[in-house]
Amino acid sequence: MTLETLSESRSFGGTQGVYRHKSQATGTDMTFAVFMPEVSAHARVPVLWFLSGLTCTHENAMTKAGAQQWCAEAGIAMVFPDTSPRGDEVADDTAYDLGKGAGFYVDATQDPWKPHFQMWQYIVHELPELVSDNLAIDRDRMGITGHSMGGHGALTIAMTHPDRYKSVSAFAPIANPSESEWGQKQLSAYLGDERATWRAHDATILMAERGYPGDVLIDQGTADQFLDKLKPEALAHAMMSRRQPGQFRMQPDYDHSYFFVQTFMPDHVFWHAERLI
């Protein structure tokens, strides 16, 4: 696949790039960003995938998460994909939490979403191959993290493919979408009303049924304005019941914003680096 460079900027000794390509998975042009540390000029480096939340594009976390400094220091790359397909031909909804900007990291089986909303296939299969073919990342050393809807995606993808992702963390993930306003609406739209098909995309259910072979790191703010939609207590209970190794940290007075993500980004980057390098 041909990769079009939209921009490349020097950042903390490395390169922050933005790229576009024609996706076979979504049938659309897709834009994504990658930070490559300076050491990647000489060797392939581990890569941390950052999946963003509702309404975001590749740009939000790229500019607001403050990850480049810490990735440069750790010597790892970070990829910032988009959250959904884009374009005039792509189905959308008037609500902010369905359609464009709200792909939920699933492969839609229902119309009108099915033709383009194949975000699981895109994130797990197509984009890693494209990035590794064009940039010096090591696909044998991949970790995954994300914020909100992206935290949901990171956890479900890692627990489904632990062989692909050697580390996983999340910032304020949508933790139990089958039982949440943020989840029931989207999963029924994309996957249909049969709740059994939702189970593969619910981090709490996956944690209870299979867990993750390594340890996990989750940060959640106590002042998060969306706690009733995120349902962190369900995932925490599943982790405890399973005796899943890891940390579930409730951070006093932090909300759902990128200020929260910025604050704990160094912890997450170096936590992943310890497991990937």
148 is catalytic: yes
Pairing of strands 45-51, 14-22: unpaired
DSSP 174: -
The CA distance from 34 to 89, in Å, is: 26
The CA distance from 145 to 134, in Å, is: 22
Q: Which of 58, 224, 268, 272 is catalytic?
A: 224
42 is catalytic: no
Q: Letter for the amino acid at 153?
A: G
Q: Which of 147, 256, 268, 272 is catalytic?
A: 256
224 is catalytic: yes
As beta bridge partners, residue 14 has 11
* 3-class secondary-structure state, position 102: strand
As beta bridge partners, residue 35 has 16, 78
Q: Which of 148, 167, 169, 180 is catalytic?
A: 148
Q: Is the CB of residue 218 less than 8 Å from the CB of residue 246?
A: yes
Which of 201, 193, 206, 45 lies closest to 120 in space, CA to CA?
A: 201
The beta-carbon contacts of 208-211 under 8 Å, at least 24 apart in sequence, are 208/238, 208/241, 208/242, 210/159, 211/159, 211/242, 211/244
Query: Where in the sequence numbering do the catalytic residues fall?
Result: 148, 224, 256
